[in-house]
Amino acid sequence: MHLAHLRLRDFRNYPRLDVDFAPGFHLLLGDNAQGKTNILEAIYLIATLRSFRGVGGAQMVRHGQKGYFVGSHIIGQGEHDTKMYWSVRERSLSLDGRPVRKLTDYLGVLRTVVFCTEDLLLVKGPGRGRRRFLDLLLTQTYPGYLPLLQRYTRALRSRNALLKQAAADPRALEGFSRELVSAGQEITRLRRELVPRLSPLARLAYRRISNDAEELRIEYAPSVRQDFAVELAQSQPRERTCRMTVIGPHRDEVQLLLKDRSAAEFGSEGQKRTLAIALKMAQAEYLTGIHGSPPVLLIDDVMGELDAKRRGGLLPLLERAHHAHGQVFMTATEENWPRELAGQVQRWTVKAGALERG
């Protein structure tokens, strides 16, 4: 699968951009603040409809303009055109010329895995980021997951609204509890199946790129131990004091352990950074395994931060993507790009919101 054409209008610092990309390795070189990361952000947006920088639509509209447009031509099993427009007043998304009605019809047209500095939050930040990591992976591999998650979220928010009321009808609360439980149990089950498949992939990736011999293990720590319905009922006294739903998949944790100890608490900075990359490598490997073709890899700066040994560990993944007619986009400044790739890269120069070959 690869992104064959990218079209931007008033996106970040790009007034207009039309560019064709072949499969393979693309190196986006340029000084700071020229628009390298913005390109990766646009590609990730096509794939997930979100920014990996965690911002909303307004920040991506070029300053002083009304809305942005991001369009693409994607070649995979079939060929697809995507078009997205966003402004405060109007949003539209179309696939092959038709408006997208259900997100499940759209997601999966382009699959990406991004490596960026924000990944460090996966290790250091709150559980929300790790849950979102699992959710994204399940969304990319299991068609029913997104609707399930939306149902769960809707039931959770409804339930929390009822718990905030002074005298909510207990039968109404029970109605939403049932919805919460049925969607929640399915989410827990899918996450529980995913983590043990991911863990060995991450361990392997970690071993490949790290300088230490400590073993990485990922463990799923679900908020619900056995029976959601029973445990939800038991949590009622706490619910009444907190006035919200205190157990369920929205409180799940994913533990990242180095030699059986929490990496967030005991790991060194270098270990945490390596671990974040290993998680993303595991994500890419997992997607490749399921879909039979590698996702488009978006690598923002990270290579520059790594020493030669750890960079070497990443190379096989990149080469595999290369051989399978996949695609890799990597940003770097002139000083820090990985020269070991020199033979196979297609070089682009990014300067003040424009892209040039060579």
Ligand X SMILES: Nc1ncnc2c1ncn2[C@@H]1O[C@H](COP(=O)(O)OP(=O)(O)OP(=O)(O)O)[C@@H](O)[C@H]1O
- Residue 171 binds which one of ligand X, other proteins, Mg ion, none, with CB within 5 to 8 A depending on kind? other proteins
Least CB distance to other proteins at residue 180 (A): 9
Residue type, position 270, single letter: G
Give the footprint of other proteins on residues 301-330 (CB under 8 A).
none
- Of the candidate residues 22, 33, 221, 342, the single one contacting ligand X (CB under 6 A): 33
According to CB under 8 A, which residues from 130 to 149 bind other proteins?
147
Residue 266 Rama label (left phi>0; alpha psi -120 to 50; beta): alpha
Q: Which of 269, 249, 248, 266 lies closest to 257, judged by CA? A: 266
Which of 4, 9, 13, 253 binds ligand X (CB under 6 A)? It is 13
Least Å from the CB of residue 88 to other proteins: 16
Are the C-beta atoms of 281 and 95 separated by less than 8 Å? Answer: no
Q: Binding residue for other proteins (CB under 8 A) from 22, 55, 88, 172?
A: 172
What is the pairing mode between strands 327-332 and 24-29?
parallel
Helix (H), strand (E) at residue 85: strand 79-87
DSSP 184: H
The site that binds ligand X (CB under 6 A) totals a number of residues, namely 18
Q: Is 115 in the site for ligand X (CB under 6 A)?
A: no
Is residue 179 exposed (0-12), middle (13-18) or buried (19+ Cβ within 10 Å)? middle
If binding means CB under 8 A, how many residues of this protein chain bind other proteins?
19
Q: What are phi and psi of 352, to 5 degrees?
A: 45, 55
- Closest contact distance (angstroms) between CB of 20 and ligand X is 20
Tell me the closest approach of the beta carbon of residue 54 to other proteins, in angstroms. 24
Token pair 């539209």 is found at 92
User: What is the nearest approach in angstroms of Mg ion to the Cβ of residue 93?
Assistant: 26
Determine contact, residues 336/36, Cβ cutoff 8 Å: no
- Which option in Mg ion, ligand X, other proteins, none does residue 38 bind, with CB closer than 5 to 8 A by kind? ligand X
Query: Residue 282 CA to chain centroid, in angstroms?
Result: 12
Residues 309, 306: Cα–Cα separation, whole Å: 8
From the list 2, 3, 7, 37, which residue makes contact with ligand X (rule: CB under 6 A)?
37
Strand partners, 203: none
Indicate the residue among 83 and 159 with the shorter CB distance to other proteins: 159
| CB nearer ligand X, residue 343 or residue 358 | 358
Q: Is 16 in the site for other proteins (CB under 8 A)?
A: no
Reading the block at residue 147, the tokens are 């609707």
Spatial separation of the C-alpha atoms in residues 13 and 30, rounded to whole Å: 14
Q: What tokens appear for 210 in the block?
A: 């790290």
Closer to other proteins by Cβ: residue 15 or 144: 144
Within 51-80, which residues bind ligand X (CB under 6 A)? 59-63
Is the Cβ–Cβ distance between 303 and 318 less than 8 Å?
no
Which residues are within 8 A (CB) of 193 and not within 5 positions of it... i.e. 6 or more apart? none
Q: What's the rounded Cα separation, in Å, for the pair 149 and 183?
A: 7
37 binds Mg ion (CB under 5 A): yes
Residue 330 in contact with ligand X, rule: CB under 6 A: no
Report the nearest approach of Mg ion to the CB of residue 301 (Å): 6
Whole-angstrom Cα distance, residue 342 to residue 199?
Answer: 32
When asked if residue 38 is in the footprint of Mg ion (CB under 5 A), the reply is no
Find the shortest distance in angstroms from Cβ 35 to ligand X. Answer: 4
* Binding status of residue 35 toward ligand X by CB under 6 A: yes
Interface residue with other proteins, options 179, 231, 253, 301 (CB under 8 A)? 179
The contact set with other proteins (CB under 8 A) reads: 147, 151, 154-155, 157-159, 161-162, 165, 168-169, 171-172, 174-176, 178-179
Q: Which chain residues interact with ligand X by CB under 6 A?
A: 12-13, 30, 32-38, 59-63, 331, 333, 350
Q: Which residues bind Mg ion (CB under 5 A)?
A: 37
